[in-house]
Structure 1
Amino acid sequence: MIRSVIAAIVLAVAIAPPAQASAGEVYVALGDSAASGPLVPDQVVPDLGCWRSNRNYAHLTAGAIGAATFRDVTCSGADTGDMYSAQGTDLGSVPPQLDALSQDTTLVTVQIGANDVGLTGFIEDCLNLLPPPVGDACNDDYTENGQDAWRIKTDALRPKLTALVADIRTRAPRARIFVVGYGTYAPPNGCYPRVPIIKQDANYIRATLQYFNRALAEQAAAAGVAFIDLQTPSTGHDPCTSAGTRWIEPYVPASPATPFHPNARGMRGFADAVITAVSGA
C-alpha cells in the first residue's frame, strides 16, 4: 500500500505543471561540453564547432517548461574565461557566452569549471591498458609536496565561480540562476578492464569529482543561488554500467557521444533533474 501511494505521488509530480517556471520564461543555458552534448544527435547550427545537441538537457528543459525564448550558448571546450571572451573552435570563433544574457532573462543554468581544472584530460590520463606492475597508477602523479594538484586547482576556481554568478546577476537581474554540477564518472573501485582505469585510480577520480562538485555547490550557496546535483541521479548510470543503462559513455562509446560525456539517455536523465529544480516541483 505504501509503495502504491509513493508511486502515485511520484506520478503526480511528474505530470504536474511547473510550480515556479512560467510559460514566459526567457531561458539562457551556459556551459561546456557536459552541457552541450557533443555527438549526441542531432547537432545543431549555428556554431557547429561547439558540438551542441538539440537533445541536451537545456533543450529538453526549455521544451518541458514551455520557455517563450530559449538561447543555448553551451560550447564544448568552454571554461570560465569563455564566459567573457570569444571562444575559438575548430570551425570558427563564437561570442562570449555572457553576451546571450539580457535584462529580460528570467532563467539561467550554468555548468562550467571542468575545463578550468582539466578534469576530462585527467580522466583520460588515468586510462591504463595494462594493469600494474606493467602499467602505472596515475593518482600519485598529481601529488606534490603532500598536496593534491586537482584540489589546488579546484580551490583556485572558487572565486572565479563567485564572480561569474555576480556577473550573470548584473546582466540578468531578473533571472533565477542555477549552477549545475557534474555526473558520476566512476563507481567505487571502477570496473577494470571494462573501463581501463584501475581500482585505485577509479577511486581517486571519484573522490576528485566529489570534491569538485562540493566546491560548485558551496560556491553557489555562497553566491546565493541554487545548485543542481547531477552526481546523485547518475549513480548507477556511470560508464561501467551496460550500454542500455549508462548515462555517461566510456572511452569507447557504444552510443553517439564523446568519451566520458553524457549520451542521449544521460541528457534525458539530467534534464529530469534540471526540470525538477527550475520548476520548483
Structure 2
Amino acid sequence: MVRKTSRVVIACAAMGVVLPVSGAPVASAAPGVGEYVALGDSWAADASLTQATGEFAPLGCAQSRGSYAKQVAAALAVPVFRDATCGGAMTVNMTAPQQVPFGVNPPQFDRLTPSTDLVTLEIGGNDAKLAVTVQQRLTADPAVSPCLDTLVAGDVDQMSVNIAAAEHKVTASIEGIRQRAPRARILLLDYFEGVSTGPGCFPTVPISDADADWLGRKLIELNAMLARVAQATGVELVDTYSTSAGHDGCQPPGTRWVEGLVPWSSDPPGPAVPFHPNQLGADHQARRVLAVLGG
C-alpha cells in the first residue's frame, strides 16, 4: 500500500536471496478458471525484498513470488495468469502507466481481456493516503500525536475526507474491469489488521498510543468503504480483516502478519518492506481468497 518505494529499498530487492515459499494453500473447490488477472497496490503485490520478482512487472513494483495472487493461481492451476500489482499503485494506475525504479508498469487494465474470468483487486489505501501517513508520522516522543495534530481539526478528519473521496475511484475501477472483462468474477479485497485500535507498542513501532488508535480506526473506516463499494457494485468482498486480529505489526515474529518499522522479517528470514505483509500475511490473504472462491 506504500505510495513511494525508495530506490535503495528496490536495489536491495534486486540483490535479495530467493527463498522457498511456505504455507501455500491447498486447491479450492472453485470451478475452473481459465484466465486470472491480479490488480492492485503493494498489499496485493505483497511487496517483498527477499522474494521480489520481475516475472510479471518491473522489479520496482516489488511483487513477491509468494504473493496471494500467485498462490491462488497455483492452487487453482490457472492456465493463463497475469499479475499487474505494483507497490505504490493508485486507482489512476489502472488506466495510466506507473513509473517505478527499473522501469514502467503499464496500465494495469492492459492485462485484462474479454476472456478474463477471474480478477482480484486490492486498491484504495494509497488513494486515501493512509499508507504514507503511517510512515510520515513516526515519532521519537510517545507523548506527541502528529497524526491527530496535523490531520484532525475540530470536526474535520482529513483522513476520513480522503477515504470518502477514494470511494468513487474504487467504484470506477470496478466499472472499468467490467467494461474490459465482462465475463470476469471480481473479488475486492480489504486490508487486514496491520495496526490495531487501542494502545500501540512504542518504541517497537514509534507511533504514539493516540495516533496508533486513530490509525487503527482509520483502517476500519477504509475497509468499511471497500465493503460499501463491493455491495454497491455487486462484486464479492474478500474480508481479510475480521480474521486477522492478533497478528498486527506489534506482535512477535511468527505471530505478526505484517512487519513493523524494522526492515527485517523472520517469515521468510531477510530484509523486509516495513508496514507490509510478510509471508504469513500473504498466506492469510490467499486462504481468504480461496475460501471465497470455494464457497
TM-score normalised by length of structure 2: 0.85
Residue identity matched to 1:192: F
Q: Are residue 102 (structure 1) and residue 124 (structure 2) matched?
A: no
The offset of 1:126, in angstroms, is 2.8
Report the counterpart of residue 230 of structure 1 in structure 2.
240
The offset of 1:16, in angstroms, is 8.3
**Once structures 1 and 2 are overlaid, which stretch shifts more, 220-229 or 140-149?**
140-149
CA 1:21–1:251: 2 relative to 1, 3 Å: farther
CA 1:38–1:18: 2 relative to 1, 3 Å: closer
The offset of 1:67, in angstroms, is 1.1
For 1:138, what is the secondary structure of its paired residue?
helix
Q: Deviations over 1:217-264 (max 9, x none)?
A: 101110010111111222111000001111100011331421100011
The offset of 1:104, in angstroms, is 0.7
For 1:153, what is the secondary structure of its paired residue?
helix
Q: Are residue 35 (structure 1) and residue 35 (structure 2) matched?
A: no
The offset of 1:129, in angstroms, is 1.7
Instruction: Choose from 284, 287, 291 the match for 1:272.
Output: 287
CA 1:37–1:224: 2 relative to 1, 3 Å: same
Q: Is the 8 A contact 2:141 2:208 kept in 1?
A: no
CA 1:182–1:16: 2 relative to 1, 3 Å: closer
The offset of 1:96, in angstroms, is 0.3
Task: Supply the distance in 2 between the matched residues of 1:50 and 1:195 (Cα, whole angstroms).
Answer: 25
Report the counterpart of residue 252 of structure 1 in structure 2.
262
**Once structures 1 and 2 are overlaid, which stretch shifts more, 110-119 or 251-260?**
251-260
CA 1:106–1:30: 2 relative to 1, 3 Å: same
CA 1:279–1:68: 2 relative to 1, 3 Å: farther
The offset of 1:68, in angstroms, is 1.6
Residue identity matched to 1:263: N
Report the counterpart of residue 215 of structure 2 in structure 1.
205
Report the counterpart of residue 65 of structure 1 in structure 2.
76
**Once structures 1 and 2 are overlaid, which stretch shifts more, 111-120 or 135-144?**
135-144
Task: Supply the distance in 2 between the matched residues of 1:269 and 1:101 (Cα, whole angstroms).
Answer: 26
Structure 1's unaligned 5+ residue stretches are 1-13
The offset of 1:195, in angstroms, is 1.5
The offset of 1:117, in angstroms, is 1.6
Task: Supply the distance in 2 between the matched residues of 1:261 and 1:147 (Cα, whole angstroms).
Answer: 28
Q: Is the 8 A contact 1:40 1:264 kept in 2?
A: no
RMSD over aligned Cα atoms: 1.8
The offset of 1:20, in angstroms, is 2.8
Instruction: Choose from 132, 150, 160 the match for 2:159.
Output: 150
Instruction: Choose from 177, 182, 185 the match for 1:176.
Output: 185
For 1:117, what is the secondary structure of its paired residue?
coil
Task: Supply the distance in 2 between the matched residues of 1:16 and 1:209 (Cα, whole angstroms).
Answer: 29
Report the counterpart of residue 120 of structure 1 in structure 2.
131
**Once structures 1 and 2 are overlaid, which stretch shifts more, 141-150 or 204-213?**
141-150
TM-score normalised by length of structure 1: 0.89
Structure 2's unaligned 5+ residue stretches are 1-23, 266-270
The offset of 1:17, in angstroms, is 5.7
For 1:88, what is the secondary structure of its paired residue?
strand
The offset of 1:143, in angstroms, is 1.7
Instruction: Choose from 63, 80, 84 the match for 2:91.
Output: 80
Q: Which has the larger radius of gyration?
A: 1
The offset of 1:21, in angstroms, is 3.2
Query: Which is helix-richer, 1 or 2?
Result: 1
For 1:221, what is the secondary structure of its paired residue?
helix
CA 1:17–1:56: 2 relative to 1, 3 Å: closer
Task: Supply the distance in 2 between the matched residues of 1:17 and 1:181 (Cα, whole angstroms).
Answer: 22
**Once structures 1 and 2 are overlaid, which stretch shifts more, 36-45 or 264-273?**
36-45
Q: Is the 8 A contact 1:106 1:176 kept in 2?
A: yes
Instruction: Choose from 126, 130, 140 the match for 2:149.
Output: 140
Report the counterpart of residue 140 of structure 2 in structure 1.
129
